[in-house]
């Protein structure tokens, strides 16, 4: 077995310092921190592994969990006070508006996100900016091609902190009837 230089130098210094009580501060000044860790942990790799294992055990918490998501139906949207409107915005475009009052379950409103999926693949994610509207009401909107409207989902995100976030998903195709948009 090869002698380890840090361990051997530590043991040699330890032997030289028989009266540890009176000379402990001086001993600390002369020793590297590695001299103290090496005999305990065996190597730097073991120390690193121990620290990483400790962090992995502490890291998992609800902040890494997924947000509670509710699929909103037309009845539920009405109960939450959400109004979804669609207007023609050109020959091929539709402008979709979502308006609601930040009260009840939506009082801790945080933001509205827009997602577009095609075949399970995320094509677009954006947080929508609030537009001027009625006082106390939240109004957001976006415009999209009529042929792609079935890909979009609006998510109203509520919650003041990491541990109580909720999302209310509104699939645009369930609320907008293209044949009624002029």
Does 130 share its domain with 72?
Answer: yes
pLDDT at res. 44: 66
pLDDT digit of tens for each residue in the chain (182 aa)?
555 555 556 556 656 554 444 555 554 555 555 555 555 545 666 667 776 666 555 555 444 446 889 999 999 999 999 999 999 988 889 999 999 998 989 888 899 999 999 988 999 999 999 998 888 899 999 999 999 999 999 999 998 766 778 899 999 999 988 777 77
pLDDT at res. 151: 94
Does 112 share its domain with 93?
Answer: yes
In degrees and rounded to multiples of 5, residue 181 shows phi and psi of: -90, 120
pLDDT at res. 61: 47
Task: Name the residue range of residue 134's domain.
Answer: 64-180
Does 69 share its domain with 143?
Answer: yes
Closest CA to 67 of 107, 111, 103: 111
Does 170 share its domain with 85?
Answer: yes
State which of 60, 77, 101 marks the end of a domain.
60
pLDDT at res. 41: 46
Helix boundaries (H) for 17-129: 20-30, 33-41, 44-58, 74-80
């Amino acid at each position: 077995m090869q002698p380890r230089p840090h361990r051997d130098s530590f043991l040699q210094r330890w032997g030289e310092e028989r009266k540890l009580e009176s000379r402990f501060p001086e001993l600390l000044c002369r020793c590297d921190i590695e001299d103290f860790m090496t005999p305990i942990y065996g190597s730097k790799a073991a120390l690193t592994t121990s620290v990483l294992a400790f962090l992995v055990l502490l890291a998992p918490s609800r902040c890494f969990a997924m947000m509670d998501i509710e699929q909103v139906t037309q009845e539920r949207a009405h109960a939450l006070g959400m109004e979804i409107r669609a207007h023609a915005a050109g020959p091929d475009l539709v402008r979709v508006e979502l308006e609601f009052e930040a009260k009840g379950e939506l009082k801790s409103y945080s933001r509205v996100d827009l997602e577009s999926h095609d075949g399970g693949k995320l094509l677009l994610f954006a947080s929508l900016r609030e537009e001027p509207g009625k006082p106390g009401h939240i109004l957001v909107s976006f415009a999209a091609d009529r042929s792609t409207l079935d890909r979009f989902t609006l998510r109203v995100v509520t919650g003041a902190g990491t541990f109580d976030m909720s999302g209310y998903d509104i699939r645009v195709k369930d609320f907008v009837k293209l044949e009624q948009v002029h």
